[in-house]
Structures are given as structure tokens and as C-alpha cells.
Amino acid sequence: MKNTINKCLLTLIFIFSTSVVYSQNDTLKEIHIGEHVPNIALSGFIDDTLQKVQLSNLYKNKLLILDFWATWCRPCISELTKLDTLKKQFSNQIEIVAVGYQSFSTINDFLKKRPELRPKNYFVLANDNILSRKLFPHKGIPHMVWIDSAGKVIAITGGEDVNFKNIKEIVKGKVLPLRAKIDIKNFDFTKTFHLKDSSFLGRSIFTGHTNGILSYETYGTYKSVIPHMIDRIFMDNISIRDLYWTAAFQHQICWGNYGRIILEIKDSLKYMQPRFAPESYQRSKYYNSINSSDWAQDNSYCYELQMPEPRMDTILYQYMISDLNRYLNLNGRFEKRNMQCYILKYRNKHLNILNESKKQHKHFITTQNVTKLTEILNANINQDQIVDETGIKNALIDFDINGLKAGITPEQINAILNRSGLYIIKVKRMVPVFVISEYY
């Protein structure tokens, strides 16, 4: 009965309408919020024998909602029952048209298979290419266009905004600040995402060598004054070994003592600078190259990790290790291995704990604790690592830095440490190391 009445009304409206009709062959442009729709003729209504209906007759004296949908869209299908209920609730205050680009037979067959979805109170338009493609082109569905009784587009939204509360306010004449649905119509999901390059919340980036910038590393504390809370790690033009070194041991003083890293690899030159792999370098293509930067071009990388908010630095460096493993297809991890090392010990009766009167003496450095002292020693010995076994890691020690230099021998270290009641001795221990392995 309802369909018969609607058909008769639409027939009369079409016959007696005096509005200007745009030919569908005319050039039509996209309509935006705040603009008026052209008075085009529509055809292809499911369950309707009308050949054409003018768009202006659908919004005359009422709110018109165009629901763009498809039979394959699950959220769209969920909307159909809701639309039918809303039309029934608001009766002649609104008109709803479910607009489909698919063929008449596709939509009709779908509704035959799902009779519970067949509209009882609103219209379904099939085989549309005017509303969908020209006037209101879009990328995602459901796509809802709200048109007032004057033919002006007052909103373009998603399906969630089409609800009883919003419709009730609009038919009463209120202007609602509905969030506009924006579709980037030429967006290609198969290409690298660059739309938010300047406004991302968090990301990691890994690239090859970048010309024009120095080899550099940094980490950010720009949003926090709390120690060890960082939001960024950035390293550029760095070797693989040094990237992993930073991630594994963070910003400890002992930079340069690579005894803590074990490389289980085929070609060491891919991982470290030529001066650290002289034999591989002499056999490589870089040895006789006229461009000294060729090795860096092929074997240094840039890495950045940016987080939305500061986090503990240890967490970010764990992320960095995971990133490097993925990007480089390597297996970098911590292990304990039984190997040669030096242990730091002290002589109970001779331990030289910090004396207040010596704080300003130019020959002394005040370390925060024995742990920091161990790091300083590791930075200079450039051999097997030194492990603290003093058991007094929090004690402050007077330490004479005269004679302390890179490449210092264990014997020279002991000569300096002896004045503080400390010494190192070579032993075998299960020590923590960072291992980098290739997947063969």
C-alpha cells in the first residue's frame, strides 16, 4: 500500500513540477557543504515503475538524506534497517534515498535474498552514476549527504551521525556542528603513506646514507625534564655495528669498547668502518676506489624513532633493536657467554673513598659511583670488557685520571687504580654481551 501511494505521489510530483531540469548530459560539478544541488532527474528506483523523479521533489518541504551504499558493505547493510525506522519515526518531515552505484539487478537480487532489508518507508536508487560519481564523489561508505528543504547541502557525514537526536534537531531548524566526512578521492593504498609526514604521532624511519649531513646521533628530551624520559632517537650516517651499539648500551660512557658486541657474520666490512676491518677492506672494491666516501654511501644508515610522549629511554632502545632486526633482517639480542674479561676488585684496607678535601684537586675526578668508573675504564681499555665485582657499586671513589687515555693497557690501568685501592684481573666469566647474527 505504502509503495503504491509513494509511486502515485512521485508520478504527480514529476508531472506537475515546474522546476528547471538539468539534463544528465550537462556538465555537472561536485557539490560541497553550503552549496545548492542542481535539479536533476533521477531514475532506477527499486520497487518503483517511475522512469524519472526530479531531485527537487525529494527535498521539497522536508529534509532529504542521501545514503550512498553497496551490497558488499557490511556497515551499509546495518544502516538500512535504521534508515527504515528513522523514516517511519519522522514520516513526511524527512525523505531518505539509499543510493547505489551497482546495477539494478545486483541490488534487486540482493534485496530479494534479504527480504528483511527491503525498504518499507524509504527509496532505493540503483545504477546511479550522477549522484555517486559527479555531484557527491566519495571514497568510503556509508556516505551521507544532508539536503535541506531549499536544496542546500547542510552536512556530509558518516553513517553514525544519522540518528534520531540529530534529525530531530535539524527538522526543528537548528544548525548542528556535524563533523564533515572528508574523503581523499585520489588516495592510493598501495603507495607509501606521506599524508601525515608533518603531523604524525609516532613512527620509525630507516634509510640509507644521506649526503650533505654529518654522521651524528642524538636523542630527544624535548617534552620532559624527567631524567631518562625521552621521546626521540635519531642517528644519521651510522654503521650497522654502531647503530646496534647505541640501541644495546645506550649512552654509556664506554663508547668504543666493542668487546661487548659479538658479530656472527660473513663480511665484517658491511658492519663497521674500514679501519676496524682492515683485512676485509683490502679485499673489497672500496680499497682502490678514488672516492673515499664510497664505503659510507653503501654501508651507513639513518634511523629515527619518534614517540608521541616521552617514555623511559630503555623502552625506546628496545624498540630500536626490534626495528633494526626487522629492517636489516638480522638477529641482534643479549646473551650471556663464558669468555675472557677483566673484573674490577678492591683491597679492603686500601680503598680510597672520596675525601671532601680532595674534591677540587685537579688530579682527581669524582665519579658518581663505581659503576660510572667501570664505564670510564671500559671506554679507554678498548679490549675485553671490565666487569664490576667490587660489591660497592654505589660508593664514590677518588680516581686519578692522569695517564688515562684511549688504548690504555690493563697494566697501566692497574697502576692508576692502585692509588685508589682498586685493581683489575683477567678471568673467565659468564658476561652479558650483545650478539648480532645473520640469517643464513
Question: Which of 119, 153, 171 is the endpoint of a domain?
Answer: 171
Shared domain check, 409 and 352: yes
Q: Containing domain of residue 213, as a range? A: 202-282+296-328
Shared domain check, 165 and 19: yes
- 177 located within any domain: no
Helix (H, G, I), strand (E, B) or coil at 195: coil
Helix (H, G, I), strand (E, B) or coil at 45: strand
Shared domain check, 50 and 158: yes
Shared domain check, 305 and 343: no
- 120 located within any domain: yes
Alpha-carbon distances, residue 4 vs 61, 80, 353 (angstroms) = 21, 21, 101
- 361 located within any domain: yes
Which residues, in sequence order, are CB contacts of 127 under 8 Å at separation 6+? 44, 100, 101, 102, 103, 104
pLDDT at site 350? 52
Which residues, in sequence order, are CB contacts of 55 under 8 Å at separation 6+? 37, 38, 39, 40, 41, 42, 151
Shared domain check, 367 and 274: no
Shared domain check, 127 and 260: no
Which residues, in sequence order, are CB contacts of 278 under 8 Å at separation 6+? none
- 194 located within any domain: no
Shared domain check, 120 and 15: yes
Query: Per the structure, how many domains does the chain have?
Result: 3
pLDDT per residue, tens digit, the chain (440 aa), is: 445 445 444 444 444 443 334 444 457 899 999 999 999 999 889 876 556 889 999 999 999 999 999 999 999 999 999 999 999 999 999 999 999 999 999 999 999 999 999 888 899 999 999 999 999 999 899 999 999 999 999 999 999 999 999 999 999 999 999 999 988 878 777 777 777 777 788 999 999 999 888 787 776 655 667 788 889 999 999 999 999 999 998 866 555 567 788 999 999 999 988 888 888 888 888 888 767 788 999 999 999 999 999 999 999 999 999 999 999 999 999 999 999 999 999 876 555 554 444 444 444 455 567 888 888 888 777 668 888 888 887 777 776 666 667 678 888 888 888 877 889 999 999 988 999 999 87
How far, rounded to the nearest angstrom, does the alpha carbon of residue 236 sit from its chain's CA centroid? 20
- Whether the model clears a pTM of 0.85, i.e. scores above it, the answer is no
Shared domain check, 224 and 148: no
Question: Which of 154, 171, 188 is the endpoint of a domain?
Answer: 171
Shared domain check, 376 and 240: no
Shared domain check, 166 and 27: yes
- 116 located within any domain: yes
Shared domain check, 348 and 275: no
Shared domain check, 264 and 227: yes
Which candidate, 340, 345, 366, places its Cα nearest to that of 355? 366
The C-alpha cell of 184 is what?
581523499
Q: What is the CATH number of the domain that holds 28?
A: 3.40.30.10
Q: Which amino acid is at 161?
A: D
The C-alpha cell of 156 is what?
556530509
pLDDT at site 80? 92
Q: Which helix (H) or strand (E) holds 64?
A: strand 63-69
Which candidate, 343, 305, 342, places its Cα nearest to that of 206? 305
- 193 located within any domain: no
The 8 Å CB, 24+ separation contacts for 165-170 are 167/63, 167/65, 167/86, 167/90, 167/94, 168/90, 170/63, 170/146
How many C-beta atoms surround the C-beta of residue 376 within 10 A? 18
How far, rounded to the nearest angstrom, does the alpha carbon of residue 305 sit from its chain's CA centroid? 10
Buried b (16+ CB within 10 A) or exposed e, 244-267: bbbbbbeebbbeebbbbbebebee
- 178 located within any domain: no
